[in-house]
Amino acid sequence: MSMNYRETEEYSEELSKRGSVLGLRNMEVLMHALSDVQDTLKIIHIAGTNGKGSVASFLSSVLSCGGYKVGVYSSPAVFSPLEIIRIGKKNISKADYAECMSYVREASEKESIPVTLFEAQTAAAFLYFAQKSCDMVILECGLGGAEDATNIIKAPLISVITTVSLDHTQILGKTLEEIASKKAGIIKQGCVCVSSYQDDEVLKVLSKKCSDLSVPLVVADADRDVQVILSDREGSVFKADTPEGIFENIQIKLPGSHQIQNAFTAFLVIRELKKLGYDLTDDTIRKGFKTAVNPGRLEKIHDAPTVIIDGAHNPDGALALREYVNTYFKNKRKIYLTGVFADKDYDTVMRYVLGTGSSEASDPGKQDMVITLHTPFNDRALNSNELAQTVLKYNSCVTAAACVEEAVELAFLSASKKDVIICFGSLSFLGRLKNAVKKITGN
């Protein structure tokens, strides 16, 4: 039942209608039918609310610079459906994706398993990484941890917990402790757990889980162990204090002070890998951090006017965006483009990002402006008019656009070359937005 890429897209569309289903029963049956190839892979498993993609990017870059073949599975896709499965920075090809999804479809139909799209893609990723004989796989959870499809794996080398905060509360729980317990489900006996710095409630949950399983817990406390040498809108340079001594001159090109915490978390994972025998020299580590990229996170895509895109769609992400904007664009006029999902805490996101803006400027030409849009092709999307009503609480200059292209056109018509256009919210529209900017600017 071999499918071509077009047929695979149609199949994926069918599966997407099944929504998201937590639990591992489907994956257990499906992966057994696929010879449990996931058990042949060496894996770093990452869960958390924010920072998963950045930590994965740092780790992939360092390991790739060290000569290792690194498979990366991350979601959601931002610019291409194929980017969720890649080796290093190279996306899976259409032919390989179609082949792997064909195997998954055949197995699921033979076993009568009603797989979701995420389950099918997760299985396809395992198949692909096994076929390509990857030395390491960096595996991002989709949602939560314990019941996420990726948690079918039995023995990760390292389990990583990035910053945990309130998100997906309808599914994962309404308190930090409840959410943390779900994330902690990826911690397995025999691994090492590396955690970003966490609130006390979260750290208590992680500490107990690690203690119960006799798993070493390493906490990346950047405030205590990192000294920032330089930080600007293009990235940061810092040094890290470790038991082995001071590690100097770590340069990252991912902007925002929150990326220092993500980089330090990745740095401590690298330190654990070195203890396991992975050959990663100091020069390799520095090169890997310097060349890491994570598109769609505080990414500048145009100058004059400056255009920034960022997938800030929950309160913690919104705080990081606000800090970045207030640090580097405080005295600039801002035009915000935003679209969100209805099941997110979008009121808090808008308050954090827009609540300190110049919404009451007397001159309309100097007033910050907000353009809301409807995120395309998604049943979870919040209507742009409804989002505009929420934005009005924090900025009186708001316009609802019917689509991404209309929002981008309106933003460029309203902006001078000195202004800043900041596009934030759901990752689902950033790819289409980037294409719309290219069409208007010609580059």
Tell me the pLDDT tens digit for each residue of 63-95. Answer: 999 999 999 999 888 888 999 999 999 999 999
Locate tokens 């220092």: which residue?
A: 260
**ω into residue 305 within 30 of 0, thus cis?**
yes
Encode pLDDT of 99-146 as tens digits.
999 999 999 999 999 999 999 999 999 999 999 999 999 999 988 889
* pLDDT (average), residues 234-263: 93
pLDDT of 190: 95
Which candidate, 202, 204, 170, places its Cα nearest to that of 183?
Answer: 202
pLDDT of residue 168: 54
pLDDT the model gives residue 362: 42
The domains located in the chain, with CATH, are 5-291 (3.40.1190.10), 299-441 (3.90.190.20)
- Map tokens 């993500």 to a residue: 262
User: Rounded to an integer, what distance in angstroms lies between the CA atom of residue 249 and that of residue 229?
Assistant: 8
How far is Cα of residue 227 from the mean position of the Cα atoms in its chain?
A: 25
Token pair of 225 as six digits: 């162990």
Pair 72, 91: CB distance under 8 Å: no
Contact between 13 and 108 (Cβ < 8 Å):
no
CA-to-CA dists, residue 161 to 235, 360, 417, angstroms: 23, 41, 41
The predicted model gives 181-203 an average pLDDT of 95
DSSP letter, residue 242 = E
Question: What pLDDT was estimated at residue 399?
Answer: 94
User: What is the per-residue pLDDT across 271-305, written as a single tens digit (0 to 9) for each?
Assistant: 999 999 999 999 999 999 999 998 888 999 999 99
Q: How confident is the model at residue 250 (pLDDT cuts 50, 70, 90)?
A: very high
Residue 377, Cβ neighbours under 10 Å: how many? 11
From residue 286, how far is each of 281, 290, 299 by CA, in Å?
A: 9, 6, 21
Q: What angle do CA 185, 190, 194 make, to 5 degrees?
A: 60
Mean pLDDT of the region 141-156? 92
How far apart (Å, rounded) are the C-alpha atoms in residues 276 and 267? 14
Local structure of residue 116 (DSSP, 8 states): -
Beta bridge partners of 242: 245
Task: Give the model's confidence band at 170: pLDDT under 50 very low, under 70 low, under 90 confident, else very high.
Answer: low
Helix (H, G, I), strand (E, B) or coil at 298: coil
Q: What is the pLDDT of residue 330?
A: 87
Give the model confidence (pLDDT) of 322-363 as tens digits. 999 999 998 899 999 999 988 888 899 999 999 854 444 444
* Cα dist from 319 to 314, 330, 409, whole Å: 9, 15, 27
Report the pLDDT value the prediction gives residue 374, as an integer from 0 to 100. Answer: 85
pLDDT above 70 for 173: no
Residue 167 has a pLDDT of: 61
- So what's the pLDDT on residue 312? 86
Burial class for 152, CB neighbours closer than 10 Å (0-12, 13-18, 19+): buried
- Res. 5: pLDDT tops 80: yes
DSSP symbols for 60-71: HHHHHHTT--EE
Q: So what's the pLDDT on residue 78?
A: 83
Per residue in 359-416, pLDDT tens? 444 445 568 999 999 876 667 788 899 999 999 999 989 999 988 999 999 999 999 9
Res 169 pLDDT > 90? no
Highest-confidence range of 42-46, 48-52, 344-348, by mean pLDDT? 42-46
